Structure 1
Amino acid sequence: MSLVSLDRISVGYGANTVLRNVSLSIDPGEIVTIVGPNGSGKTTLLRALIGAVRPDAGQIRHKPGLRIGYVPQKLHIDPTLPITVERFLRLPGGHGKADCALALEEAGVPDLSERQMSGLSGGQFQRVLLARALIDKPDLLLLDEATQGLDQPGSAAFYLQIERVRHRSGCAILMISHELHVVMSASDRVVCLNGHVCCEGTPEIVSAAPEYRALFGTGTGGALALYRHEHDHAHDEACEHDHDHAHHDHKKRPRPLNNAR
């Protein structure tokens, strides 16, 4: 049974229709990425999934008891507010020290609990937001351009952590990203959105689709790099076990689009 399914939904703001006749389903354990140009309705799609906007037409169905975690693009916290990471994770209440420690471990930052939120780097801050999303053990994790503002190594490291989260917890992941060169590696399925679903499938299939090429393919001469999953080249990395090396795996092994089959 799918965790969530959208059946021909349309969403508009006033006279402006943002999404038209969009159908999509997310199955347990898969990583699905939404790509599309600015204004294509990507964030509106996530907002519809979490109930923040109501579709004008169509239906959204959730698996009974579905738990959803959400990592926003950004979150502003007053830099003068004295609040530790652990205290932030425990808001609005109900989570203990052990829950916070486990969530930070899952997010790859186990040593940040006593740090002030105002003193975190951009990458650390996003990992804490990830921990906040994971603390309730979600069945589905939503990420809305969660690496915006991070440099390329930081983004690659974040997406590697997302793969680890999926592997350890089994949760499904739906994410929006503009970083096509990185995000392809972390996806089982890619959905190209431009107000409607232009195309969808594996990264190789979508990257070769005319609809995708029309939106993204000309900037690099149609040779956008695809990067293999961490587990696809694990045997190549036998001597590189530490996180510093792993964080750069996506950068080191580009697979050109014209080699995809």
Structure 2
Amino acid sequence: MQFQGPPLVQAACLLRDVRPWGRVDTASVEVPESVSRLVGQPTDSWKAPLRRWLAHLGLSEQDVGGPLDAPVSAAAREDGAAVSARYFVIHDTSWPWFGAHDFPPEADPHMNDLSRYAHASTALAHVFVNRLGRTLTTHDFSEPWRATKLEMRAAGVPVKGLFLHVELVQPRRSDPAGPAGNDAQAPLPGFTPAQYDMLALLYLAASVRAGEGLIPALHGALDEGLIDGHDDPQNFLLTAFAAALARLEQQLSALSVP
């Protein structure tokens, strides 16, 4: 399975803004240059500088989804051939939920506690990223995993392995205009600079393992039109993700110079 068009056309569709109550913008986005330079392009040359950058940051390869030398997950075609993961799906946790209360400071320990997502059998993504940019890998990027309505209901088992999933911690509160107990209101800005920086790092790590730049996608855009489709990630700024990728590319390029 894949969406129509070449990788950049698919990215332009799957990165459309997701709004409260699961509404998705109708018009395709203009994919920023720092993203378009990577999508569908070979990534082998980034492995060595990425490994050095991780060491500089004091991060392990496990912190970014698993060993850089290992392949990503794959799905099996009807003829038995393996198809490597193509999509890098961005979610928000929509949790913790604060009801009618104000959102806490970004450094709030309760909000940033990743241990709640540590049980692999129930974790709905490969990697979780808290508001401070720290990560928890619950499933290696090599493990086929499903985390969207599209995969679990519409497309089913044949697509298991085509999608890699990253959850960004984002608290929610109730919208007073909505029904009781709703979680429609997300903070502004939706995510922290540390989260965007880590998201860029995870995207490149996954793409290096895939051998080419993966197609980034927003969860809500994937689930568009499905009953109970999700409304995340809320207040996601594609420009902020692109800027983080551009910074990372610059940092790695400096490490590539002898």
**Do the structures match in fold with TM over 0.5?**
no
Higher strand share goes to which structure?
Answer: 1
| TM-score (normalised: structure 2) | 0.26
Larger Rg: 1
